[in-house]
Structure 1
Amino acid sequence: MITIFDPRQLSHAPLRELHNGGWTDYNETPDRAATILAAVGPAIPPRDHGMGPLAAVHDAAYLEFLQVAHRDWIAAGRAGDAIGYTWPVVGRRNLDLTRIDARLGRYSYDAGTPITADSWTAAYWSAQTALTALDMVAQDRQRAAFALCRPPGHHAGADYLGGYCFINNAAVVAAEARRRGLGPVAILDVDYHHGNGTQDIFAADPDMLFVSIHADPATDYPFYWGHADECGTGAGIGTTLNLPLPRGADWAGYQPALDRALAAIAAFGTRLLIVSFGADTFAGDPISHFAFERDDFTRLAARLAAMNVSSVVVMEGGYATAELGDNVAAFLSDGAWKCGMEIE
């Protein structure tokens, strides 16, 4: 499968994050992408599609904030990475706030996603990587393409960051694919953690299907989204399907949820599938609690390939860095995904 990646995505390198009441080393390190690239490379560089596709999904003021946040943090006399500490949990109004602390709270929802001087550059090229994977499928007639996105994106909403995510790469690709007339488009999120940002962006959209198999948010991040009774809002009711699973789920426990997910995708008439792929379902992941073994990633790929639809695979989580490259390679290794298979 063709892999797309840009080395500027490695520039985002926060030193630490606030987790469970204390400072810890940042989990979403540049080494994640480097080990994946070593296992699945070589990669081609992304094309620059500009700001238009990002602005089609994200609020203009939020995009501007991402570009200036660290500069304003330093201008305020701070050092290091910019991190919020106050969040408006109710009555979140569109106030004209000038202090960087206030804007960090306005445009984020956790203290685990620091902004560095290079975060915008990395996030921008991560999104361009995903858009170029779409080009490979839509224009170059590949059956599937892999966007090695880093930082990841599925926790980012239209106007907020969180969960290591700034730009929602899967949502940007899905919206752009629909604009190009490639729909119906479905998004399948198989990261251990629920893709709350993606769900939020498309919750009221009747023409975009979002399906997620993830850890039960009653016990796992992001807690407040991804419960089974969330099925969309307004005109979008029925186009969101959440399939939460208990901690410890292995392949046998995962398969019934996958069956439901793929049935929903088929019933939607899907022509293009966006896969938010997280390898943090691996049994050895340090911050996740499913029990996938390496071969299970190949089994998952085979089931997705059997859908016989064009697919864009967008990298999300996975934090067992030593094993991450081989796990991703196992997912991409199935013959149905191989580079050069053209759409009939």
Structure 2
Amino acid sequence: MSGANQSCVSEFLLLGLARQPQQRQLLFVFFLSMSLATVLGNLLIILAISTDSHLHTPMYFFLSNLSFVDVCFSSTTVPKMLINHILESQSISFSGCLIQMYFFSVFGNMDNFLLAVMAYDRFVAVCHPLHYTTKMTPQLCALLVSGPWTITNLNALLHTILMSRLSFCADNTIPNFFCDVPPLLKLSCSDTYLNEMMILTEGALTVIIPFVCILVSYICITCAVLRVPSTKGKWKAFSTCGSHLAVVSLFYGTIIAVYLNPSSSHSAEKDTAATVLYTVVTPMLNPFIYSLRNKDLKEALRKVISKKQFST
């Protein structure tokens, strides 16, 4: 395969979400509004946590990291789509596509790992409350964040290098608004066996391991809460995990709809709609979910907003 690492395709066409001009205009406003809400909401959470000393705890440290990743995750795909709309273009260069795929993989997998880390944090808080401060040390918290960053970057680098080896000969249209691994593999005219094996083995582990950790953590949490004698105590324990459970359900529910359904049930429209949910809608909703269910965070956000109003 002497030409396996040379592609005849210099760019790809991102078909986006709509063909009609009226629909494109509406979707442009829709995605621009969601993107601004995502950035503003998550940056407010980061600012509130960093400025309020009462929130300098492991739980809020992980939440601020999740907010940062959500901003990056959404910014990986939406700005390019908005720029293409303004320029009335659908193209993305071959190298640009690989770069977008790389960062999409990094931030998407970081969401997985951070949700697992936050589940472990809730497990320690509920099941071992007396040892929480000794177990969740600053060193461990830093390790629980830096470790996933290393893993996700290496994982994304592997898949990007493997993708760059493939040839793309004729069809260069991607039926989505960003570059992702599955549609690119379908377009390749090279042997994609190695890429697919890496996705099914190493790639799957980056999703399955965090998901199993979340399940185990919440099984242990549920068992511990059920042993609490008072109803008020049970409700208080469950309420501390409610926001996290809501985010986990939304994120993994949409991922399962895209990647784990039988191929016979897939369609471009359904896959694109589900992709929009976990790449755009979920990062936007996370700040609202956490702030609406958390009194301490709401109070910190109130202080941040009131300071800005006073300064102006």
- The answer, yes or no, to whether TM exceeds 0.5 is no
Structure with higher helix content: 2
Larger RCO (alpha carbons 8 Å, 6+ apart): 2
Q: How does the TM-score come out when normalised to structure 1? A: 0.24
